[in-house]
Amino acid sequence: MKALAIARQAPLTVHPAPLAWQELPDPRPGPGHLLVRVRACGICHTDLHIAEGDLPAPRLPLVPGHQVVGTVDELGPGVTTWHPGERVGVAWLHQACGTCRYCREGRENLCPQATFTGFHVPGGYADYLVVPAEFAYRIPDRYTDLGAAPLLCAGIIGYRSLRQAEARPGDRVGLFGFGASAHLALQVARSWGCPVLVFTRSPAHRALALSLGATWAGGLGDPAPFELDCGVVFAPAASVVEGALTYLRPGGTLAVNAIHLDRDLAIPYGRLYRERTLRSVTNATRADGREFLALAEGAALHVEVEAVRPDQANEALGRLKRGDIRGAAVLVWS
């Protein structure tokens, strides 16, 4: 099969084209697994972190991509819950052990044996991939392949981030950074009746946020119309986390949706004092995925998508780094 793979990790300023074509053996589905023919795959900020070496790869070359929509091509032995030809979604969490304390508590996102799509196992920048049947998702019919792909990471992790921020119906919510995940989280919060403030440097992103129902959009440091009950930081920048705390009311919660920050945090204690909470977001569970996909279907979330051909993938990573993607970028594979 053909795949786009990362053979060398380096900053894009040093190595601007980390993805290169490779011919790889066709994968085969083992017991309990599905062979999926890829039709679309979202381009995630985590893919950029992997390409630049912020997340050291467990092995190279590595096929990234973990927002995958495809069709079931073949069933592995023992699979009875799927049929060939069905549409299927594949997300970041590839598998968890199922027996550790975290898995037993329903927190499989923290499983120490967890493996991840497009990192530990080959991902969706390829003709085919293999996924455990129990970790595959059914895609809501209302979404095209292109529109469904960002739901599988940007959407799911944005939903979990709002939950980690303890957002409740009617709460005043702040979103810091406005890419693929935030533009979906905004709509989830609005479906809960929450007024939402969006903080972003990009005029285009501010315009998109306002068109999707944000109460206000401005820059970090601008005076906001009200204090926040809770917030989510989507920008992988320590300065944004530090600045976001200044908008949080006493007793409020700020969740950081970032797998990597550009530096360590330097937070004056006064910004945390008065029982403010700062919390990280780590991966997501299958329950998060099922709940979010049901919500997306019921609330008819709009997915702002830019289609990308495979030969444009390196350029898209560069644009993602510069913040030039409006909504989500998705590789159209088939």
User: Do residues 154 and 328 touch, judged by C-beta distance below 8 A?
Assistant: yes
pTM: 0.97
- At 334 the pLDDT is 73
Q: Where are the beta strands (DSSP E) in 30-127?
A: 33-43, 68-75, 87-90, 93-95, 115-116
Alpha-helical regions (H) of the chain? 45-52, 101-104, 145-148, 154-164, 180-191, 203-211, 238-244, 269-272, 286-299, 313-322
Amino acid letter, 65: G
Spatial separation of the C-alpha atoms in residues 316 and 34, rounded to whole Å: 29
Q: Give me 322's structure tokens.
A: 């510069």
Domain ranges of the chain: 2-150+304-332, 156-280
Residues of the chain predicted below pLDDT 50: none
Say which residue the tokens 């913040």 belong to: 323
- At 3 the pLDDT is 98
For 97-143, what is each residue's pLDDT tens digit? Answer: 999 999 999 999 999 999 999 999 999 999 999 999 999 999 999 99
User: Do residues 182 and 158 touch, judged by C-beta distance below 8 A?
Assistant: yes
- At 165 the pLDDT is 98
For 287-298, what is each residue's pLDDT tens digit? Answer: 999 999 999 999
- C-alpha gyration radius of the chain: 19
Return the closest-CA partner of residue 196 out of 163, 164, 182, 149: 182
- At 253 the pLDDT is 98
- At 13 the pLDDT is 96
CATH architecture of the domain with residue range 156-280: 3-Layer(aba) Sandwich (3.40)
- CATH number of the domain at 2-150+304-332, out of 3.20.20.70, 2.60.120.10, 3.90.180.10, 3.30.70.20? 3.90.180.10
Handedness of CA 264, 314, 319, 153 (dihedral sign): negative
Query: H-helix or E-strand containing 218?
Result: strand 216-218
- At 194 the pLDDT is 98
- As a whole number, the mean pLDDT across the chain is 97
